[in-house]
Amino acid sequence: MFKGESYLLEILTSVGDIKGRKKFQKIVHLLENKGMEPIYRYKYHHYGPYSSDLQLEIDLLVHKGLVKEEFENGTYSYKITDKGTEFKEKVSAYNNINIDKDLLIKLNEKDASFLELLSTYVFLRDYGRSEDEAKEETLKLKPHLKGYMDKVLSFYRESLLN
């Protein structure tokens, strides 16, 4: 009951706000990969894994007044509203929300480009690519983000494989 909404509201409660649609998508994708119950389906798009279902759910939360969306300097930001907090508290008894909050905070501290590269690499690993194959293919898809690769691989090994 309201599983996706509960997860998204819990994510926003835990970090305060998320700046960027792309960043929100990547954070949820990576949390699902790390153990949060998978809810959304992802396809590969220009900026890496993307879920139209996830974006629709975010848009519905905004429409219902549970999440506030602001657009400033070309970037969307999201934060839970008082109404969203009340809703989350009401439905929390029906949902067992399991989110790695330490990982969530680390992900939210990263910039969108880092998360784009990391999420792309993880997406390729999920589709059976070896570490080397995933790295090579990620760099082919994202040559402009090559400078992040060593840090992405290090973060992946330290934070997502454990």
Q: Which residues span the domain enclosing 85?
A: 3-160
Which segment of 1-5, 106-110, 150-154, 156-160 scores lowest on mean pLDDT?
1-5
Q: Determine the Cα–Cα distance for residues 71 and 78; give it in Å rounded to an integer.
A: 9
Is the per-residue pLDDT at 116 higher than 60?
yes
Number of domains in the chain: 1
pLDDT in tens, 131-152: 999 999 999 999 999 999 999 9
Do residues 125 and 44 touch, judged by C-beta distance below 8 A? no
pLDDT at 37: 79
Q: Which of 159, 109, 113, 157 is nearest to 134 (CA)?
A: 157
Q: How many Å from the N-terminal Cα to the C-terminal Cα in the chain?
A: 29
The answer to whether 65 and 45 are in contact (CB under 8 A) is no
DSSP string, 49-86: EE-HHHHHHHHHHHHTTSEEEEEETTEEEEEE-HHHHH
> Who has greater pLDDT, 3 or 59?
59
The CA distance from 110 to 67, in Å, is: 22
Digit-coded pLDDT (tens) for 13-70 = 999 999 999 999 999 999 999 887 788 999 999 999 999 999 999 999 999 999 999 9
